[in-house]
Every structure is written in structure tokens, then in C-alpha cells.
Structure 1
């Protein structure tokens, strides 16, 4: 559970640093198909376009991240997989002359992972968690469509897709005895 809180603390610390006059860390987000924008794959989840953006992501990030940490013990693997793969896909596909920032790619990845994990494992707790996620966060599914200017629908889409991918990968590792045990 500690890594979830540490990530949120780092997000908030970064946003506070961004208040310093002349500091603009948001420029270091994902800049598609630019070599200088590739490190943004790692930085983007910590960067937000202001406190409104950060607040909008923090609640869902905490809830979904803690659900993964507590019910599956796979938080680090899911976070690294979604951030790297989803970020790389965004870097490859998103429009030029844009900068993609925010933790919402992880939020979408976490939600998709939890739903897919429930379907794949069919364990009671995982199915209950998946159902709660669908009921609480199902409306975010529209965020994968290019309907709102200035919102990284690519980050949302690839976050969700890599969340599902991570569920398949980690489920396969569990079946082969390499992934630890799922909490019941």
C-alpha cells in the first residue's frame, strides 16, 4: 500500500514545485515521436496541468491503486507495465506538437486491470472488486474516445488496453506458479 501513497505524494510535490515562478515541469510530459519526449513516458503520471487536474486524478488513483495493492499484491507490476507500455503507445500514436501529462492513463489502466482480473481469475473477491469498479467508474469508458479537446484520449485508451494486457500477463504468470497468490 505504501507505493500508492508515495506516488500520490510525488504527484502533489511536483505540482507544488510547479508553483515556483519560472518552473514548468509539465513540459517534460510525453511529446509524441520526439526523442526528447520519450523520457516523458516515465514522468507523465507525476505531472498535472494544475491542481484541478491533480485533484481529479488523485481520488480514483488512490481507490483503484489501493484495490490492486490490497486484493492482488500486483501493484508494482501493474503500475510499471501500464505506465511504460501505455506511455510508449501514446508516444507512438498521439498527435504531433502535443504534450501528454497526468495520472489518468494509470487510472484507466488500473480500472481495466481490476475488471479483467475479476473476469480472468473468477475468484469471489476479484469479481466483487470488478463489479464495484464497473459501477463506480464505468462512466470513464467514454474517456477513450476523442470527444473532449485537450484531453489525452490516447493516454486513456492505451492505459486501459495495457491494464487488460497486464491482467492476462500476470494471470499467466500465476498459473505457471511465478506470480504469487491472489488474496481471497
Structure 2
């Protein structure tokens, strides 16, 4: 009585090495699977505790705009939900987009998750109306979605670019709840998460320095080499990535 309204959502040069080989990719994908499985399991265990305590955790650890005491809750709010329907709607997308965001590097994914939680939470804290208590993993979902869609472009990685195109085409409808108009849903948390995911794709991009010219055979001047069509160019990149995946 008289407490905050419930709001579902928010929080809710190049690398010195080439693309990961198939063995390393499979190892990272395996780690990503268990990380996301554990993440979702923790969210469900907290939901069970939250439910048995009449959602006291959501009331105590949600983000309330303008309330300085809730700023640390930016980190805890993505783990909490307001109902079973709320957590059920978030769990599938959280696992899928989280796995796709994590399968090329779990450490990078953890940094991305922190960034997205902060951007989503801060947008809610600054711009949401003051009587709303916001919790939910959907801010993370939108962050992972944005990251997956553009990561391949920033990394110049063909497979990730194709994944991004497929995800963008398949889930573009999600963006309709990142704009005002859906009652009871924190579109601000969604928008903040999406911004964090897009920024994370740039911040955590692969940084690969280009090849340095070597000295010429006699004069010490940079050598001029004719590119080998089998080892350079977009087609070679495609062959390398397909080979890494065991498709060639």
C-alpha cells in the first residue's frame, strides 16, 4: 500500500591472432553454455525465494528513480522478477542471447554483462518516474541482443555477422518494447540495455594490428609482396572461418 508501482523489465588496429580455431571455439561455447545455465538457474532460485517472501526481494533490491540508496541495486535488479509470468517470458531469450554473446569468450561476456546492467540501470534511475520499482533481466536481454547483432561488424568476423543478421531479422519485433507505449514494461530499461550492448560491441571488439612491412632484401626498404589469392582477401577469410568450424 502506497509503495512503488511494479515495473517489469529493465536491468531487467586488430588482434594479434586470427579467428579462434574450432577446438578453442567449442571449448568457449561449452563454457558459455554452463555459464548461462548457471545464470538462469540462479535467477529461478531467487524467484522461488522471492515468491515465498511475497516479492520482498524485488521491493528491497529494485531500482527506484532518483533514490540514491537504490543505485547499488543496479547490479541485483536483473536477477529479480515480479511474477512467474515475468521470469518465464525472460528466461528463454536470456539464455539464447546470453549464450550467443558469450560463446566467443566468457571473460569478455562478464564485462559486457556488467556494462549492460549499469547502462540499463542508470537510464532507469535517471529517467523513470520516481514511484516505480524496476527489476528484471530484460535489460540484459536487450543488451545481449544489440551486442550479438553488431559484434560481427566491429570484429570483421563473417560467422558472427551472419548470426547478427539472422537474429536481427528474427527478433526485430523486440524493439517495439524499447520505445514508449507498453504498460507495465520498463521501455527505458530495455533502451538502456540496448545502448549498453551496442557500446559493448565496440568497447570489447577484437583489436588486430595490421601486418607491419618488413625490410627489403637489399636496401632495407619495405618489401613489396604480391598477395597470394589463397591467403589474403575476403574469400580467404571465409575459407579460414569455414575451416575453423570444420566445414572445409
Q: What TM-score do the two structures reach when normalised by structure 2?
A: 0.67
Larger Rg: 2
Matched-pair contact (CA < 8 Å) for 1:105–1:160: yes
Does 2:138 match 1:104? Answer: yes
CA distance in 2, matches of 1:51, 1:38: 25
* CA deviation profile, 1:39-97 (whole Å, cap 9, x unmatched): 22011111111111101000000001111111354311111110122212221221111
Q: Distance in 1 between matches of 2:122 and 2:135?
A: 13
Q: Distance in 2 between matches of 1:85 and 1:22?
A: 28
**In 1, Cα distance between equivalents of 2:52 and 2:203:** 42
- Gaps (5+ residues) in structure 2? 1-31, 210-243
Residue in 2 aligned with 1:78? Answer: 112
Task: Tell me whether 1:38 sits opposite 2:68 in the alignment.
Answer: no
More displaced, 47-56 or 129-138?
A: 129-138
Give the match for residue 26 of structure 1. Answer: 58
CA–CA separation in structure 2 for the residues paired with 1:4 and 1:21:
26
SS of 1:99's equivalent? strand
Matched residues, number: 178
The Cα of 1:176 is off from its aligned counterpart by 6.2
- TM superposition score normalised by structure 1: 0.89
Q: Which residue of 1 aligns with 2:170?
A: 136
2:131 is the alignment partner of 1:88:
no
Structure number with the higher strand fraction is 2
The structure whose residues are more often helix, as a share, is 1
1:22 CA drift (Å): 4.8
Q: Deviations over 1:80-139 (max 9, x none)?
A: 110122212221221111111100000000000111212222311111110121122111
Partner of 2:45: 13
| Higher RCO, Cα 8 Å, sep 6+ | 2
Residue ranges of structure 1 left out of the alignment (5+ in a row): 178-182
Match of 1:125 among 159, 176, 180: 159
Give how far 1:21 is off. Answer: 4.4
Runs of 4+ more than 2 Å apart: 71-74
Contact 1:31 1:40 in 2 (8 A): no
Across the aligned residues of Structure 1 and Structure 2, the Cα RMSD in angstroms comes to 2.0
How far did 1:166 drift? Answer: 0.7
Does 1:175 pair with 2:182?
A: no
The structure-2 alpha-carbon separation of the partners of 1:20 and 1:78, relative to structure 1 and needing over 3 Å to count, comes to same
